């Protein structure tokens, strides 16, 4: 590193430095800043990529944005809307058949398992919303700024970054670094973290364009078209904001007139088209073998690169990563008695989910055709299981049974608030307001019970250990539609207690074996928070 450190910039200090300000880095900034953690984001570009990329943001991602209080800024889909695609000769030619994204799957009834319905918004339109919201919570964004190198210095990290316009280098000291620098993460490479998975499959050429005439063909309710001609295979998608994208095998360079003729071939007849931009992306499956090294965490595509599929396992998995990591960083940074072991649960919880999603993606017929014959396809899990029923297993969760034989994901109606799974959704009233159970578990640990003695104990332990535990007395602080619903939903008796983490994952449940309630709760709480 030859270039001098600039005198025109101060030396910055922060708790968390995020490298990469695309959808996952920005979401990390939002969740951390909302949790009152100091955060700086460095992003080498001045704004979002022109390629819209992700279009489907799942209910779980939206639940996280809802927790941070920004849900009203994101347009949601109707509860009966669904993503449909068809195999066609061309948009205006023969339509052969509708092909479901997941074979044999019944579309789930949106709005039953979650308070939100998901969003069909292009990634480049969602990013400005998240960016502004992160800024509003106090995140410090250094756009047009590139990470040059990271130096670990015992207690933290020193980053050298370059302001690209001014061509000047300056330094940022951080206690922790989040690498949200994408699939070709230079941080992952610098750390020597290996990747596994099906690897590179092929490069895809994307061409983004406007064509108002083509919108007439959307009236059937199908938005995605697999173009199937003898000499030409491609994928055509419409974004709700009026843009279209055509994708096909990128086996050579294409001139603008080549691109136009491919678009017309996919449309099936001459129409007025206006090309916005073009680029290539890699279809690949790779999962980092370590999501944490020292003070550095890999998130998003830096940790797991997966191609687009039903369920949106790219951006959405990344948003869920950083929701998982944000509260852990907050607790370690803001409570001197919370051990750094809590941060190790990030890898323990997220790596198996990344791998599960890799296996689920390439077990689908769409991708199975591209992978090596040695790949063993797995049984496809339902969207409900993948979305609402993933189970995490680490020291930040206390299991009363042996978890080894339990699946990593199952329908939430099977879990009923099992430890390691997301709390089930039901509508409740609190201070006369109708909210979801999911809304109850956002900022701190929460003890919930019908039995006040558990809640008194939780309050006492919270005071003793200096860590917030909110208490919820069912029937007093919150009301379910029917008195019995709480017990049925969580498969719990009226004398029991549940401890829920700030990411709405059940951390612990009392059992009949709890002799002394105080000792039982305290021991559990200290374990799941890695209390020193
Ligand atoms: C065609 C297509 C459709 C898709 N559809 C979906 C979908 O519907 N649902 C879904 O969930 N996912 C989808 N995906 C995947 C999704 O787009 C990615 O998973 C997502 O962009 C990953 O976000 P990220 O923030 O982790 O990484 P990226 O979006 O790759 O961002 C990394 C950022 O880091 C910055 N950066 C890199 N190095 C440095 C450095 N040294 N210094 C500073 N900044 C740096 C880059 O400029 C970039 O902005 C799709 C992808 C494609 C290509």
Retrieve residue 202's tokens. Answer: 């092929």
Residues 348-367 pLDDT 10s: 999 999 999 999 999 998 89
Closest-CA residue, ligand 1 atom 9, reads 312
Retrieve residue 527's tokens. Answer: 């374990």
For residue 495, how many C-alpha atoms fall within 13 Å in the half-sphere facing its CB?
5
Q: What pLDDT does 33 receive?
A: 98
Q: Which helix (H) or strand (E) holds 257?
A: helix 256-267
Domains of the chain from N-terminus onward: 12-196+285-365 (3.50.50.60), 383-528 (3.40.30.120)
Separation between Cα atoms, residue 149 and residue 61, nearest integer Å = 31
Separation between Cα atoms, residue 429 and residue 406, nearest integer Å = 33
Q: Is 386 in the pocket of ligand 1 (CB under 6 A)?
A: no
Q: Which residues pair with 288 in a beta bridge?
A: 195
Q: Cα dist. 439→67, 70, 406, 428 in Å?
A: 6, 13, 27, 10
Residues 178-196 pLDDT 10s: 999 999 999 999 999 999 9
Q: Which helix (H) or strand (E) holds 331?
A: helix 315-334
Q: pLDDT exceeding 70 applies to what percent of the chain? A: 97
- The ligand 1 atom at the shortest distance from the C-alpha of residue 42 is 43
Q: What is the mean pLDDT of residues 280-306?
A: 97
Q: Which residues pair with 245 in a beta bridge?
A: 208, 237
Q: What pLDDT does 511 receive?
A: 87
Rounded distance from Cα 455 to ligand 1 centre (Å) = 43
Q: What pLDDT does 318 receive?
A: 98
Q: Is 123 in the pocket of ligand 1 (CB under 6 A)?
A: yes
For a substitution probing ligand 1, which of 123, 148, 284 has the most ligand atoms within 8 Å of its CB? 123
ipTM strictly over 0.95? yes
SS (H, E, C) 98-142: ECCCCCCCCCCCCCCCCCCCCEECCHHHHHHHHHHHHHHCCCEEE
pLDDT band of 512, cuts 50, 70, 90? confident
Q: pLDDT exceeding 90 applies to what percent of the chain? A: 85
For a substitution probing ligand 1, which of 182, 236, 288 has the most ligand atoms within 8 Å of its CB? 182
For a substitution probing ligand 1, which of 19, 53, 311 has the most ligand atoms within 8 Å of its CB? 53
Q: What is the mean pLDDT of residues 116-129?
A: 95
Retrieve residue 203's tokens. Answer: 């490069």
**Beta-carbon count within 10 A of 401 CB:** 10
8 Å CB contact between 110 and 79: yes
Residues 199-239 pLDDT 10s: 999 999 999 999 999 999 998 889 999 999 999 999 999 99
Q: What pLDDT does 403 receive?
A: 64
pLDDT band of 268, cuts 50, 70, 90? very high
Q: Average per-residue pLDDT in the chain?
A: 94
Q: What is the mean pLDDT of residues 31-59?
A: 95
DSSP 408-467: SB--HHHHSS-TTSBPPP-EEEETTEEEEGGGGSSSSEEEEES-HHHHHHHHHHHHHHT-
Residues 393-431 pLDDT 10s: 999 999 866 666 788 999 999 999 999 999 999 999 999
Q: Which residues pair with 157 in a beta bridge?
A: 152, 174
DSSP 236-255: EEE-TTSEEEEEEE--S---
Q: What pLDDT does 450 receive?
A: 97
Return the sign of the alpha-carbon dihedral for residues 326, 329, 333, 336. positive
Closest by alpha carbon to 29, among 416, 319, 378, 254?
319
Residues 152-171 pLDDT 10s: 988 899 999 999 999 999 99
Closest-CA residue, ligand 1 atom 12, reads 314
Instruction: Using the predicted structure, report yes or no on whether residue 1 has a pLDDT greater than 60.
Output: no
Q: What pLDDT does 365 receive?
A: 87
Rounded distance from Cα 21 to ligand 1 centre (Å) = 9
Contacts for 291 with CB less than 8 Å, ≥ 6 apart: 297, 298, 299, 303, 321, 346, 347, 350, 351, 354
Instruction: Using the predicted structure, report yes or no on whether residue 133 has a pLDDT greater than 60.
Output: yes
Rounded distance from Cα 50 to ligand 1 centre (Å) = 12
Q: What pLDDT does 402 receive?
A: 63
Q: What is the mean pLDDT of residues 335-343?
A: 97
Closest-CA residue, ligand 1 atom 41, reads 147
Rounded distance from Cα 339 to ligand 1 centre (Å) = 32
Separation between Cα atoms, residue 467 and residue 459, nearest integer Å = 10
Q: Is 118 in the pocket of ligand 1 (CB under 6 A)?
A: no
Q: Cα dist. 4→11, 255, 360 in Å?
A: 14, 42, 48
Q: What is the mean pLDDT of residues 24-36?
A: 98
Max CA pair span of the chain: 78
Q: Is 131 in the pocket of ligand 1 (CB under 6 A)?
A: no
Q: What pLDDT does 53 receive?
A: 92
Strands 140-143 and 39-43: parallel
8 Å CB contact between 314 and 301: yes
**Beta-carbon count within 10 A of 359 CB:** 21
Rounded distance from Cα 506 to ligand 1 centre (Å) = 30
Helix (H, G, I), strand (E, B) or coil at 473: strand
263 vs 514, which has greater pLDDT? Answer: 263
Retrieve residue 210's tokens. Answer: 């406007």
pLDDT band of 140, cuts 50, 70, 90? very high
Q: What is the mean pLDDT of residues 503-519?
A: 93
Q: Is 301 in the pocket of ligand 1 (CB under 6 A)?
A: yes
Residues 436-491 pLDDT 10s: 999 999 999 999 999 999 999 999 999 999 999 999 999 999 999 998 999 999 99
Instruction: Using the predicted structure, report yes or no on whether residue 291 has a pLDDT greater than 80.
Output: yes
Instruction: Using the predicted structure, report yes or no on whether residue 104 has a pLDDT greater than 80.
Output: no
Closest-CA residue, ligand 1 atom 2, reads 53
Separation between Cα atoms, residue 272 and residue 252, nearest integer Å = 25
Return the sign of the alpha-carbon dihedral for residues 426, 129, 53, 195. negative
Q: What pLDDT does 58 receive?
A: 94
Q: Is 45 in the pocket of ligand 1 (CB under 6 A)?
A: yes
| R_g over Cα of the chain | 24
Instruction: Using the predicted structure, report yes or no on whether residue 121 has a pLDDT greater than 80.
Output: yes
Q: What pLDDT does 447 receive?
A: 98
Rounded distance from Cα 163 to ligand 1 centre (Å) = 21
Return the sign of the alpha-carbon dihedral for residues 229, 233, 239, 243. negative
Q: Phi/psi at 356 (nearest 5 deg)?
A: -60, -45
Return the sign of the alpha-carbon dihedral for residues 139, 142, 147, 148. negative
Q: Is 447 in the pocket of ligand 1 (CB under 6 A)?
A: no
For a substitution probing ligand 1, which of 1, 19, 20, 28 has the most ligand atoms within 8 Å of its CB? 20
């Amino acid at each position: 590193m030859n270039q001098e450190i600039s005198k025109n910039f101060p030396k910055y200090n922060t708790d968390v430095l995020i490298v990469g300000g695309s959808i996952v880095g920005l979401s990390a900034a939002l969740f951390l800043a909302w949790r009152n953690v100091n955060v700086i984001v460095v992003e080498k570009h001045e704004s979002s990529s022109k390629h819209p990329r992700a279009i489907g943001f799942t209910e779980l991602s939206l639940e996280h944005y809802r927790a941070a209080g920004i849900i009203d800024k994101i347009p949601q889909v109707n509860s009966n809307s669904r993503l449909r695609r068809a195999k066609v000769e061309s948009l205006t030619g023969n339509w052969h058949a509708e092909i479901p994204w997941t074979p044999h799957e019944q579309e789930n009834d949106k709005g039953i398992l979650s308070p939100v319905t998901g969003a069909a918004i292009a990634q480049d339109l969602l990013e400005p919303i998240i960016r502004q919201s992160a800024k509003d919570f106090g995140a410090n964004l250094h756009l047009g700024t590139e990470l040059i190198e990271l130096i670990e210095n015992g207690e933290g990290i020193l980053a050298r970054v370059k302001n690209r316009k001014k061509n000047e280098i300056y330094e940022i000291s951080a206690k922790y670094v989040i690498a949200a620098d994408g699939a070709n993460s230079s941080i992952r490479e610098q750390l020597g973290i290996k990747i596994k998975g099906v690897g590179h499959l092929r490069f895809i050429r994307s061409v983004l364009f406007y064509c108002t005439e083509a919108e007439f063909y959307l009236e059937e309710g199908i938005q995605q078209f697999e173009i199937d001609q003898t000499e030409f295979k491609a994928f055509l998608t419409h974004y709700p904001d009026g843009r279209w994208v055509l994708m096909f095998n990128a086996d050579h360079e294409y001139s603008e007139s080549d691109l136009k003729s491919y678009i017309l071939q996919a449309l099936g007849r001459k129409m007025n088209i206006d090309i916005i931009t073009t680029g290539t992306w890699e279809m690949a499956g790779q999962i980092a073998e370590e999501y944490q090294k020292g003070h550095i965490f890999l998130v998003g595509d830096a940790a797991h690169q997966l191609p687009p599929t039903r369920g949106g396992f790219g951006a959405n998995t990344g948003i869920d990563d950083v929701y998982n990591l944000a509260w852990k960083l907050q607790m370690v940074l803001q409570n001197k008695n919370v051990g750094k072991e809590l941060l190790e649960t990030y890898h323990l919880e997220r790596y198996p989910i990344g791998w599960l999603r890799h296996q689920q993606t390439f077990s689908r017929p769409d991708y199975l055709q591209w992978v090596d014959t040695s790949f063993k396809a797995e049984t496809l899990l339902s969207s409900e299981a993948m979305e609402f029923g993933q189970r995490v297993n680490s020291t930040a969760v206390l299991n009363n049974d042996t978890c080894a034989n339990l699946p990593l994901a199952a329908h939430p109606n099977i879990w009923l608030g099992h430890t390691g799974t997301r709390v089930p959704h039901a509508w409740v009233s609190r201070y006369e307001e109708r909210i979801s159970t999911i809304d109850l578990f956002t900022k701190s640990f929460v003890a919930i019970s019908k039995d006040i003695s558990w809640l008194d104990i939780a309050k006492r332990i919270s005071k003793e250990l200096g860590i917030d535990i909110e208490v919820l007395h069912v029937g007093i602080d919150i009301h379910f539609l029917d008195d019995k619903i709480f017990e049925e939903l969580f498969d719990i008796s009226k004398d029991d207690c549940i401890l829920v983490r700030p990411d709405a994952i059940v951390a612990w449940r009392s059992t009949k074996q709890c002799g002394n309630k105080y000792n039982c709760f305290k021991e559990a709480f200290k374990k799941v928070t890695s209390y020193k």
